[in-house]
Structure 1
C-alpha cells in the first residue's frame, strides 16, 4: 500500500476509493518487487504462474494490460473495464508468496494493513518479555532485522504513533 494510505489508516481515516482490479494488480506488482529470490532478483512471471498451473503470459498480460488501459471514454458511454484476475489466480499468487491463500491481494486496505503488520506485532510481543531493556530498544532491535521496505513502513507507523501521543498529551509533555 502507498505510504499515504497507510498513514491515513493509522490515523483513523478512510482509505481513498480504488478499483478492486487495480488494487489486486498493484499488490501483485508490489509483492514481485519486494519479495525477491535468494539471489536478489525478482521472481519471473513464469516462476510464479507455473507454481499454480497458469501461464507466464496470463500474469504478464494481466499486469501489463492494466498499465496500458485506456482512460478516455466516449461521451455518455460507460467506461470499459478490463477483466480482473480470477480467484484461482489470486489464490495462486498468494500461495506462492505467503505459503497459503490469505485474501491479502483483494482485501480492503484496513484489513490488508492489519494482515501485513501481524508478523511485526507477533515479533514485538515475543520480545516484550525481555525485561532487561526498555521496550523501544527491544522493538528497534527486532525491527532492525526487517527488510528495508518493512522498516520504512514500521518507522512511519512509529512516528505516526509518537505524534498521536504528543497530540493527545499536549505540547508540554517531555519525552
Structure 2
C-alpha cells in the first residue's frame, strides 16, 4: 500500500502543475470546503498542504470527532441535525449506545492514554452507510488519506479544464521534467531513448 503522505504529496504536486494563467492554490482550494469533505480541521489541512505532518491523535477521538462533524455538516433538508436515534436505528443500535459513545468519549479526552482501537467496525460501517450510502472508511481514515480523497474531484476538474486527461497528464509530466536538475535530465533522456528504440523495433517487426 502506498504511503499516505507520498500519495497526498503527489496529488498536491499534480494540482500545482496544472495551475496555469497565474492561478495559485488559493484560487482552487477552499480550506473550509475541504474540511467539510474530509473531516480534517482547516488548520491541519494547511499544514498538510505545505508538506507538514498532522498532529498525533487517538484513533477513537478522531472517529468521534468525525461523527460529530458529520452531524454538523450533513444536515437534514430542513437544516437540522440528524438525531442519534435516527442514525443508530438505521443499523440496529440504540440511541443511548451511540449518544453515550460520543459524549462519553468527548469528556476528559486529554486524561486518557492513546489507544490503537476505536468504536466497533460494525458501528463505524453503520454510521458511514447512513451518511454516505455505503461503508467508506471515512471515519477512521488518517488525515492524509482523507484530504487526498477530498482533493481528487478538484484534480479531476483541473485535468478536464486542461483538455483530455491524457493530454493533461502529459502536460504535468513535461512541467515536472522541466524542473529536473541536469543529472536527472540525463537519466530521463536515457529512458526516453530506450523507449524509442523499443518502439522502433516493435514497428519493424509488424
Q: Is the 8 A contact 1:94 1:101 kept in 2?
A: yes
Q: 2:202 is matched with which residue? A: none
State the TM-score, normalized to the length of structure 1. 0.63
In 1: Cα distance, 2:114 partner to 2:51 partner: 34
Match of 2:122 among 88, 94, 99: 88
Match of 1:98 among 114, 129, 132: 132
| Superposition misfits of 4+ residues, deviation over 4 angstroms | 70-73
Bigger relative contact order (CA 8 A; separation at least 6) = 2
Q: Is the 8 A contact 1:104 1:115 kept in 2?
A: no
Q: 1:167 is matched with which residue? A: none
The answer on 1:110 being equivalent to 2:144 is yes
Structure 2: stretches of 5+ with no match in the other structure: 1-39, 164-206
Normalized per residue, the structure richer in helix is: 2
Structure-to-structure mapping, 1:1-175, within 5 angstroms: 1-69=40-108, 71-72=110-111, 79=113, 84-122=118-156, 124-125=157-158, 128=161
State the TM-score, normalized to the length of structure 2. 0.54
Structure 1: stretches of 5+ with no match in the other structure: 74-78, 131-175
Provide closer, same or farther for how the CA distance between residues 120 and 44 of structure 1 changes in structure 2, counting only shifts above 3 A. Answer: farther
Q: Secondary structure at the match of 2:69?
A: helix
